[in-house]
A = this chain, B = another copy of it.
Amino acid sequence: MPTILGQNQYGKAENRVVRITRDGGTHHIKDLNVSVALSGDMDDVHYSGSNAHVLPTDTTKNTVYAFAKEHGIESAEQFGIHLARHFVTSQEPIRQARIRVEEYAWERIETSEGTAGPVGADRPRHSFVRKGQETRVSQISYDGATWQVISGLKDLVVMNSTDSEFWGYAKDTYTTLQEAYDRILATQVSARWRYGWSSDDERMPDWEQSYEQARTHLLQAFAETYSLSLQQTLFQMGSRIIDNRDEIDEIRFSLPNKHHFLVDLEPFGLKNDNEVYFAADRPYGLIEATVLRDGKEPRIPLDMTTL
């Protein structure tokens, strides 16, 4: 046979699970979108259609919901670890599991009586509004021996209204761009960071705290960098995280340059003193790079930040 099977994987994608935890009248939410991908000894199902080694994708869906009850959802990462371990250890033909998770954040609605202060017996604490900012993401992979956890975020839109320049670039026949000494710098951050943790023998990071800290460092580096190029800002965001978070070895960014063009108001006898901008959609500059701890291997796939 001249044709052979290469890498393959299967599972149920986009299982939307919401887990409510009650602490008296105070409720807590975890709101996830979980995708399961399994691989292993799966030649037969491709060649002959025999499903003997195939745990149905419907079963992987059921497992997501059952595990939300059995293990709870402490964090996206911990939940993915429970799932990946289960699939690899419980079904002989399955040799590798990859769990991808999106998490949507919610915050409490302040009621008329307020939400600050001690919680009284009758105070409603079960009302939420979706935060709607970035989506938190995580990918947990396991082959029965080694773990790989890559977490991050996407769709976090940021802007500096000054402290950005762009000049001194290469020019060729097709160059018409004017140099800029004070421009808006805006981007929609997609970032993925890889944890050094890889074995059950090592101490697991505090996934929730690590996420919050990485996000804060990223935002602060964006705000505090006087930028000569979006590449420079990217590197500052990455190195700030690597420098401050020992548990993270590598981070990759895709940063679309969300162009804000200064509108030419001269035809109308007006001076545009960096006040009025046209926010463009397409095309956009796209800046992508990996930043990593010296001595570590890069392992985040190049396109992961554009998924």
A interface residue numbers (CB < 8 A to B) = 1-22, 27, 29, 31, 35, 37, 42, 45-59, 61-63, 65-66, 68-70, 90-91, 93, 106, 109-112, 124, 126-134, 155-163, 166-177, 184, 219-220, 222-224, 227-229, 231-232, 234-235, 238-239, 242-243, 250, 252, 256-257, 260, 263, 265, 267-268, 270, 272, 274-294, 298, 301-304, 306-307
Q: Is the CB of A224 within 8 A of B111?
A: yes
Chain B residues with Cβ below 8 Å from A166 are 51, 56
Central interface residue in A1, A29, A58, A91, by most chain B CB within 10 Å: A58
Q: Is the CB of A270 within 8 A of B70?
A: yes
Chain B residues with Cβ below 8 Å from A37 are 286, 288
Pairs of residues from A and B, 8 with the lowest C-beta to C-beta distance, nearest first: A49-B228, A6-B290, A8-B289, A127-B223, A130-B157, A57-B285, A49-B232, A51-B169
Chain B residues with Cβ below 8 Å from A235 are 5, 46-47
Chain B residues with Cβ below 8 Å from A234 are 46
Q: Is the CB of A128 within 8 A of B161?
A: yes
Q: Is the CB of A3 within 8 A of B51?
A: no
Known: A109-B222, A290-B7, A293-B2. A283 touches B133 (CB 8 A): no
Central interface residue in A16, A301, A304, by most chain B CB within 10 Å: A16
